[in-house]
Structure 1
Amino acid sequence: MAITEEQKLQIALFRFSLVAPILNNQIEDISEYLETLASQVHDVPYYGKREYNAKTIRIWFYDYKKGGLDALKPKGRKDKGSSRVISSSLGEKIISYRQENPSISVMLLYEQMVKDGLFLRSQISYHSVYRFLAKRNLAKPLVEQSSSKVRKKFAYDEVNHLWQGDMMVGPYLYVNGKRKPTYLFAFIDDCSRLVTFARFDVEQNFESMKSIYVEALLRRGIPQVVYLDNAKVYRSTLFHEACARMGTAISHTEPYDAASKGKIERFFRTVRDRFLPLIPKKPSSLEELNNAFLRWLEEDYHRRIHSALKISPLDKYMSQASKIKVVDDPLWVNNLFLKREKRKVNNDSTISLYNQFYEVSSIFIGKRVEVRFDPKNMDKVMVYENDEFLEYGKLVSLADNAIIKRDYSLDNPEQKLSFHQASTQKGDS
């Protein structure tokens, strides 16, 4: 079965997760880090268990720097069509080699067998050897190493190197006569303790979190790393892809560890101790609550001297303003986080999306395309095919579309007219 675009994306995100610590200066000894990764067995989307040598991972690093996330997507195999069958006699020799070297990785074992002349690289690929050993439970080395020793300590002295993100439950509001809890999504800069953005919402979903994260990016620039817990809203493929395209690594490791989440938790404690007592017990609206919160955030929290920093979060952050990677193109960032759904273009050259219709060019009739859109603003949508932007879809009248479909699709089921062509003919008749 051919690999799908979604599977290619998942593989690219996996590869990015390996090289991101290098890109974001989290690694002190790059060679040691690469060798450590090369000694491990990785669970790779689509491919399953795999090992990679240090050279391959280094190539991914340069590929990303040159071409971004798309450069990490797998290409077609150059050896496609060639024989990769391991004979029974060769298989016995491979097993013998493994039994004599049980603690080394399959990659090192493969290199040794090639060096000893057991076979040529052009005859037997590394992946064939790996699959052969994996089926016999011989792929995993007896002793695995840990990469934790080659990572830098959890401490950053530069702004926007690390953000921490989380959510806390806020006061209750009455929405349409029903009592509902509010949720405060927040992102905080690890170095300065400045809150890059935070806001209360009545929904605890991806769209709420996304809108707050995008606002943080537009206001405070792009972080190198974001530490988050394992909540569903943070594990979206769309979120991971968007961050990877910006060069931001996402870490879900040790979500409740004090060292990794302490600063955001302390901020939430400050909100409970210093902000919530100032507001009415029953805020009249979400807008009133957020206006009061943002005013407190900018006038009190950001300007108050921090006990550990001996300076205010805002002054600390602005002292390194020259190091901030600002967003030069807000539209590009917003487009990265658009929701995506597959749709087939109808015979009248329209796409149906949440009971609304969008017109596209008639050349796409019958094709299945990807529609990207903002659920909170659906005046127009973006149409993609194979990850390439085609055009914007224009919102059309639901009532007019129903008339056109009735007159032209039912009476002439084989006729293919765009919505614009059909409506023009209808007006001339």
Structure 2
Amino acid sequence: MEKSMEDVAAARFEIISPLLDASLDPVLRIEKQKEVSWHCGKSYRTIGRWLKSYAANGFAGLKPSKTCPKTVSALPENYAEILEAAITLRRECPSRSVRDIIQILELEGLAAKGILSRSTLQRHLQKEGFGLRQIRLYAKHDAASRRFAKSHRCMLYQGDIKYGPYLPIGKDGQKKQTYLAAWIDDATRFVVGASFYTNQKVDIIEDTLREAILTYGKPEAIYVDNGKQYRSNWLQTACAKLGIKLLHAKPYHPEGKGKIEAFNRRLDSFLAEIALQKPGSLEELNHYLAVWLKEKYHKDPHAGLSGISPETAYLTDKRPLCFPDIAACQEAFLHTETREVDKAGCISFDGQKYEVGLKLVGRKVDVCYDATWKDEVEIHHKDFPVFKAKRLRIGENCGQTQLFPEATQPIEAKHSRLLTGLDRQSGKAHKPATVATSFRNMAKELNAHV
């Protein structure tokens, strides 16, 4: 499936996000940009161009511009031999650039001067597994992980999902698994968002992250694992729109998320107590979780904070909190799907019908919605202003739907304009020619004079 422009912009933001730190020294910024370049497989100049576009136009500057398709140039007949020689040159010296490889091939007479394209050769080298980034990864050896901690609150939130207790909230009182979605502040170990849910969908990430941002402020970055909930296009786009760096831990390296993992272990004591309390509903379970966090976890001394409590560490931090604009936050947390309007002026969405109007019949519209509240959705179409659509309420009696606009109704024709036009054209084409002299008329005239 082809990526939308917003998905591409979100992916580009994720790449350049490590370079947006204003405190970076110019020299360190150059080195960091080089590191980002080979890590993502993009050129240094491309990364620089994205940074300038983001600085000038924000998130919109990262959206790709529409370009005309390029013509495909034919490769030389001996390109397989040239590629094999290029791979050998790369293996001889892994740091050798594609430009230098092309120059060597030209000097040795393996390729005519100017016939090789740098981008084409680079693409083929990457396809064969000999790109510069790939070569460096081959030579890289895993090192021991180092502990890290941010210096101030709201610099980094760590998120995770943990299995919760079973509750009798299923059909006919059957036990149902619950799941905890939590966010913890890296510097202070303060839990900024945590709730139990009955599913592991991306909606629970959205709900708790929005609660954390609106209550405790927007973080500079969030750090999560590689679960499908955290790899969603929605989370990537939402973070890009809010200017939050989205960081993912290395696969099979849970030590990078040590703080949230330590909180999960600490939460086991709460799960042991809640098993004795036997809550009968999800609301009751979340109530006791909030009480335990407020009166127990946040007030207990923390070994990682030199013996002070997470609450004290959070409240005494002098870093000012940054809250996003409400409208911008609401827009960032919207999901978008495409639907086609049926002949009744409705769309089918989430198993329900929504009225959008007859003016959009047969057209495709973008449906923007909040995953936690779907009674009303936003309808976007390039030819009409944005408007709200509500769920279709089905009454007891059928009713006459509004008529289509008069301009769309058929009109009565007096005759077939096609056949009339063809007949007129045929008459002009076969019009009989005027005869200059008629012998019959001449004979009649002669008899008349005899």
Q: Are 1:55 and 2:45 an aligned pair?
A: yes
Q: Are 1:130 and 2:122 an aligned pair?
A: yes
Q: Distance in 1 between matches of 2:374 and 2:45?
A: 46
Helix, strand or coil: the match of 2:179?
A: strand
Offset from partner CA, 1:307-350 (integer Å, 9 cap, x none): 33232212222233543221331x43233223332111223332
Residue number among 200, 206, 211 corresponding to 2:202 in the alignment:
206
Structure 1 letter corresponding to 2:37: A
Shift of 1:130: 2.8
Shift of 1:415: 5.4
Shift of 1:152: 9.9
Q: Are 1:18 and 2:15 an aligned pair?
A: yes
Unaligned runs of 5+ in 2: 411-450
CA contact (8 A) 1:97 1:109 kept: no
Within 5 Å, which residues of 2 pair with 1:122-161? 126-133=118-125, 139=131, 143-144=135-136, 154-161=148-155
CA contact (8 A) 1:255 1:261 kept: no
Aligned to 1:421: none
Aligned to 1:262: 258
Aligned to 2:58: 68
Q: Are 1:382 and 2:378 an aligned pair?
A: yes
Q: Distance in 2 between matches of 1:374 and 1:234?
A: 18
Aligned to 1:172: 166
Shift of 1:242: 0.7
Residue number among 390, 394, 398 corresponding to 1:398 in the alignment:
394
Offset from partner CA, 1:69-100 (integer Å, 9 cap, x none): 3322222347x556644444899778766654
Q: Distance in 2 between matches of 1:68 and 1:152?
A: 34
Within 5 Å, which residues of 2 pair with 1:321-332? 322-329=319-326, 331-332=327-328
**TM-score computed with the length of structure 1 as normaliser:** 0.76
Instruction: Call closer, same or farther: CA 1:249–1:81 in 2, change over 3 Å.
Output: closer
Helix, strand or coil: the match of 1:61?
A: helix
Aligned to 1:424: none
Q: Are 1:317 and 2:317 an aligned pair?
A: no
Q: Which deviates more, 282-291 or 314-323?
A: 314-323
Q: Distance in 2 between matches of 1:131 and 1:89?
A: 17
CA contact (8 A) 2:165 2:275 kept: no
Q: Distance in 1 between matches of 2:231 and 2:192?
A: 21
Q: Distance in 2 between matches of 1:383 and 1:232?
A: 27
Q: How many residues align?
A: 394
Helix, strand or coil: the match of 1:235?
A: coil
CA contact (8 A) 2:369 2:378 kept: yes
How well do the aligned residues superpose, as a CA RMSD in angstroms? 3.9
Q: Distance in 1 between matches of 2:102 and 2:216?
A: 48
Shift of 1:274: 4.8
Q: Which deviates more, 310-319 or 347-356?
A: 347-356
Instruction: Call closer, same or farther: CA 1:355–1:110 in 2, change over 3 Å.
Output: same
Q: Percent identity?
A: 28
Shift of 1:393: 1.8
CA contact (8 A) 1:356 1:395 kept: yes
Offset from partner CA, 1:106-143 (integer Å, 9 cap, x none): 55448968x999767xx976433334545666645784
Shift of 1:174: 0.7
Structure 2 letter corresponding to 1:144: R
Structure 1 letter corresponding to 2:30: S
Helix, strand or coil: the match of 1:164?
A: strand
Shift of 1:381: 0.5
Unaligned runs of 5+ in 1: 43-50, 417-429
Structure 1 letter corresponding to 2:321: I
Q: Which structure has the larger Rg over C-alpha atoms?
A: 2
Shift of 1:191: 0.3
Helix, strand or coil: the match of 1:308?
A: helix
Q: Which deviates more, 375-384 or 170-179?
A: 375-384
Q: Are 1:239 and 2:241 an aligned pair?
A: no
Shift of 1:395: 3.5
Helix, strand or coil: the match of 1:234?
A: coil
Aligned to 1:224: 220
Shift of 1:400: 8.3
CA contact (8 A) 1:200 1:289 kept: yes
Residue number among 179, 182, 193 corresponding to 2:178 in the alignment:
182
CA contact (8 A) 1:95 1:133 kept: no
Instruction: Call closer, same or farther: CA 1:295–1:279 in 2, change over 3 Å.
Output: farther
Q: Distance in 2 between matches of 1:196 and 1:269?
A: 17
Helix, strand or coil: the match of 2:12?
A: helix
Instruction: Call closer, same or farther: CA 1:108–1:11 in 2, change over 3 Å.
Output: farther
Instruction: Call closer, same or farther: CA 1:97–1:298 in 2, change over 3 Å.
Output: same
Shift of 1:300: 2.4
CA contact (8 A) 1:343 1:368 kept: yes
Q: Distance in 1 between matches of 2:77 and 2:389?
A: 58
Aligned to 1:350: 346
Q: Which deviates more, 369-378 or 152-161?
A: 152-161
Shift of 1:188: 0.3
Shift of 1:256: 5.5
Instruction: Call closer, same or farther: CA 1:98–1:63 in 2, change over 3 Å.
Output: same
Aligned to 1:423: none
Helix, strand or coil: the match of 1:52?
A: coil
